């Protein structure tokens, strides 16, 4: 179920509230352009600053709009196990196809603490769980041996790996085999992760070029490595541009330049600096995106 190019979709705002019309239009754009799954309420969706009511609203809209055409994988992680259980239960009740759970941030739990966190959430629901490891955001690294332990839990079925460490990704594939699906959490590392057994990506860049990301991943999964490599090289400047500043500032700015959303962020995120905004605009113009 979980493979291909999946979008870590932004949450559009209008005057401080969820822009439901804009969000639905983004989902339709993604599905029409070949995206394999919609992933709302992740880092790119500014989940850390959504209220519980807004979180539930975003998941509900995504499920309604996708209408079974592609899976919806709802971000439901937290630095509180109790809160993560609550958010994950709601996602299942709302009709999401799976939950994406980031490792608890700020707390810096041990590997045993991480295991117990994910185990608790998995035990509380009966639909698929995808682990999300991004040490640069959370200050804790979910190690391969812990992933292998978690892979023995029936409904823990995947991991979004954004450690930036290809050796670690390879070790997860080696230890877990077919017990867990490995997905890239870093657009620029998607190609090498596919080459060692990954099955796709949960992508930031797919927000603006969904068909390009879908083509690259599809080529890799079909063992068309020359094509996949060329797609990767063609997209590399966009991968870099999406991180000129903290994600999701550049991607939301790009979508606003494309006329798809309003350029609005949830504080403490703010607009791009004029210098980086110009750099981003130059890249988008080169690709004829704007």
Q: In angstroms, rounded to a whole number, what is the distance separating the alpha carbons of residues 182 and 178?
A: 9
Radius of gyration over every alpha carbon of the chain, rounded to an integer in angstroms? 18
- Looking only at the bridges linking them, the beta strands covering 13-14 and 17-18 are antiparallel
Q: Where are the alpha helices (DSSP H) in the chain?
A: 20-32, 52-66, 81-94, 111-124, 135-138, 144-150, 166-176, 190-195, 210-221, 225-241, 249-257, 274-286
**Distances in Å between the alpha carbon of 227 and those of 5, 185, 231?**
16, 21, 6
Closest CA to 210 of 4, 63, 1: 4
List the catalytic residue out of 21, 105, 145, 160: 160
List the catalytic residue out of 115, 132, 244, 252: 132
**CB–CB of 156/150 below 8 Å?**
yes
**CB–CB of 102/132 below 8 Å?**
yes
**Distances in Å between the alpha carbon of 74 and those of 24, 42, 141?**
15, 8, 21
Q: In angstroms, rounded to a whole number, what is the distance separating the alpha carbons of residues 87 and 76?
A: 5
Q: In angstroms, rounded to a whole number, what is the distance separating the alpha carbons of residues 185 and 22?
A: 25
Who's near 143: CB < 8 A, 6+ residues apart?
111, 168
* Residue 244 a catalytic site member: no
**CB–CB of 18/54 below 8 Å?**
yes
Strand, coil or helix: 204: coil
* Residue 160 a catalytic site member: yes
Residues annotated catalytic, as ranges: 132, 160
């Amino acid at each position: 179920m979980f493979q291909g190019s999946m979008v870590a979709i932004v949450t559009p705002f209008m005057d401080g509230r969820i822009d439901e019309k804009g969000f639905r239009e983004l989902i339709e754009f993604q599905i029409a352009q070949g995206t394999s799954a919609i992933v709302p309420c992740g880092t790119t969706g500014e989940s850390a600053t959504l209220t519980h009511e807004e979180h539930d609203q975003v998941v509900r809209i995504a499920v309604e709009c996708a209408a079974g055409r592609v899976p919806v994988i709802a971000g439901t992680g937290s630095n509180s196990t109790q809160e993560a259980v609550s958010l994950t239960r709601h996602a299942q009740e709302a009709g999401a196809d799976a939950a994406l759970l980031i490792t608890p941030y700020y707390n810096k739990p041990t590997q045993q603490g991480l295991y117990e966190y994910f185990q608790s959430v998995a035990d509380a629901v009966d639909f698929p769980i995808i682990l999300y490891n991004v040490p640069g955001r959370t200050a804790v690294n979910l190690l391969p041996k812990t992933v292998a332990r978690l892979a023995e839990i029936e409904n823990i079925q995947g991991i979004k790996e954004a450690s930036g460490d290809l050796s670690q990704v390879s070790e997860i594939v080696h230890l877990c085999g077919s017990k867990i699906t490995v997905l890239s959490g870093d657009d620029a590392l998607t190609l090498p992760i596919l080459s060692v057994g990954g099955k796709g990506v949960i992508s930031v860049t797919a927000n603006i070029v969904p068909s390009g990301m879908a083509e690259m991943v599809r080529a890799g999964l079909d063992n068309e490595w020359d094509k996949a490599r060329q797609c990767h090289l063609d997209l590399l400047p966009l991968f870099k541009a999406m991180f000129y500043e903290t994600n999701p500032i550049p991607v939301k700015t790009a979508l606003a330049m494309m006329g798809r959303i309003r350029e609005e962020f949830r504080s403490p995120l703010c607009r791009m600096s004029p210098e980086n905004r110009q750099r981003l605009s130059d890249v988008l113009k080169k690709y004829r995106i704007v």
